[in-house]
Structure formats: structure tokens, C-alpha cells
Amino acid sequence: MNEKLEFAIRAGLIGIGATAVMDLWSIFLKHFFGILSLDYKLFGRWLGHLPGGRFAHESIVQAATVRGELIIGWCAHYLIGITFAALLLAIWGLKWARSPSLFPALFIGIVTIVAPFFILQPGMGAGVAASKTPQPNIARLKSLGAHSAYGFGLYFAALLTAMLIPAGKPEKKIELGNAGVGGIFREVRSKGGGETTVKSIEDDTSAVINNKKV
């Protein structure tokens, strides 16, 4: 598997898994504490108004409904989760995805809280960092909790993905050793009644392949 394909597969699986963990956290809060999270129907409504040039609303609840807004909201929710997972892999690389550690995942999870604070909440009428809501600090803690859950989700999803997708095998390299200039390295393999000889010629950086029939 080439690295571009591996990157896309891992980013997709990790992003979906992490977003699912975030949703499970929201279900937990609602079921046991009666704490409601973002209504993705309203998120879809906000997105649906963007093509018409409408970014900010006094109240997204009062805005005109958009056809398919619930589907739009949920699809965008998971696409954003995948995008942030891709950002994680772009910064820390496939090496991290093959052997995950907690800090990078949690860091990305918490840092991405800037998206709701400075884009989504102002656009939906809640103000910067929920400043226009009745209890801004409670709303901010809810956002922090959700994005922390997403960060832990990135880590756990990466662990699972690392078990499902084995790391690619590193390319084999031929080393000429410490013989210096003019040193000779020879590898002879028998194949189809012939021999393939690889050797260096007066330079550690050049090699020729000679095929000789027996």
C-alpha cells in the first residue's frame, strides 16, 4: 500500500471513530445528566444558508429551514471529524498513526475548539465562545468536554486502526560497508539458470548489474 492511500484510509477511519466517540459522550451526558449538545439539524441549517451568502444569524432557530438540513448537518459533522484527523496525520505523520500516543491526539482535539468558538457559535447567533448564551461558561465547558472526548477518540481510533492495518514494510537498502572508495559488495542470487551480480565500482554511490548465463 502506498503512503498516500494509507494516509487517506487511516485519516478516514480515525476521523470517523473519533467523531463517534464524541457522539457517544454527548449521548452519555444527555442520558445521565440531561445535558443537551449541538442539534445537527440546526448546524445543517446554518450550512445550508452559506451558499446564499448568509454567515451570521441573530438566532439560527428563527432562520428559515433548509431542505435536508438534518442530513447536511450529520454528514458535515463526520467530514469535519475526518478533516481534523487528516490534520493530525499531516502534522505528526503516518509514523504516529502506526504507533499512536495520547498527547498529539488530545492536543488536536482541544485545539480544534477554536472552530465552534470563533466560527460556528458566532454564525449561529450564540456569540464568540458562546458569549451571548444565558450561561456562557457552562457552554464553553460543554464544548471543551466534547472536543476532549474527540481527542481521546482520535487516540483510541488510531490504536484500533493500527491493529487492523499493519505498517508498511520499509524498503531494503544495500549497504556497501566500510570498504571505502573502490570497495566491492557482491550479492549473487540464482534465478532461472543465471546469476545476478550487484557490485560497486570505484565509488560507494554507483552500482552495475551484470547478468551472466551459466
Q: What pLDDT was estimated at residue 130?
A: 95
Domain span at 154 = 3-164
With beta carbons less than 8 A apart as the criterion, state whether 154 and 89 touch. Answer: no
With beta carbons less than 8 A apart as the criterion, state whether 196 and 209 touch. Answer: yes
Counting the structural domains of the chain, the total is: 2
The rounded percent of the chain whose pLDDT value lies above 90 is 75
Same domain, 57 and 112: yes
Q: Would 49 be classed as within a structural domain?
A: yes
What is the signed CA dihedral for 54, 60, 65, 66, rounded to 10 degrees? 50
Same domain, 133 and 53: yes
With beta carbons less than 8 A apart as the criterion, state whether 197 and 210 touch. Answer: yes
With beta carbons less than 8 A apart as the criterion, state whether 24 and 37 touch. Answer: no
The pLDDT of 160-164, averaged and rounded, is 95
Q: Has residue 213 got a pLDDT over 60?
A: no
The model's confidence at residue 170, banded by pLDDT at 50, 70 and 90, is low
Q: Has residue 204 got a pLDDT over 50?
A: no
Same domain, 115 and 197: no
With beta carbons less than 8 A apart as the criterion, state whether 124 and 42 touch. Answer: yes
Q: Has residue 194 got a pLDDT over 50?
A: no
The pLDDT of 147-164, averaged and rounded, is 97
Instruction: Read off the pTM.
Output: 0.77
Q: What pLDDT was estimated at residue 168?
A: 61
Q: Has residue 146 got a pLDDT over 80?
A: yes
- For residues 25 and 3, give the distance between their C-alpha atoms in angstroms, rounded to a whole number: 32
CA of 197: how far to CAs of 5, 44, 213, in Å? 34, 64, 11
Same domain, 131 and 83: yes
The pLDDT of 152-170, averaged and rounded, is 88
Q: Would 92 be classed as within a structural domain?
A: yes
Q: Would 169 be classed as within a structural domain?
A: no
Same domain, 197 and 128: no
Alpha helices in the chain (DSSP H): 3-33, 40-49, 69-98, 102-111, 114-115, 121-124, 136-164
With beta carbons less than 8 A apart as the criterion, state whether 210 and 194 touch. Answer: no
Please give the backbone phi and psi of residue 77, each rounded to the nearest 5 degrees, phi first: -55, -45
Q: Would 124 be classed as within a structural domain?
A: yes
Which range is least confidently modeled, 73-87, 92-106, 173-187, 200-214?
200-214
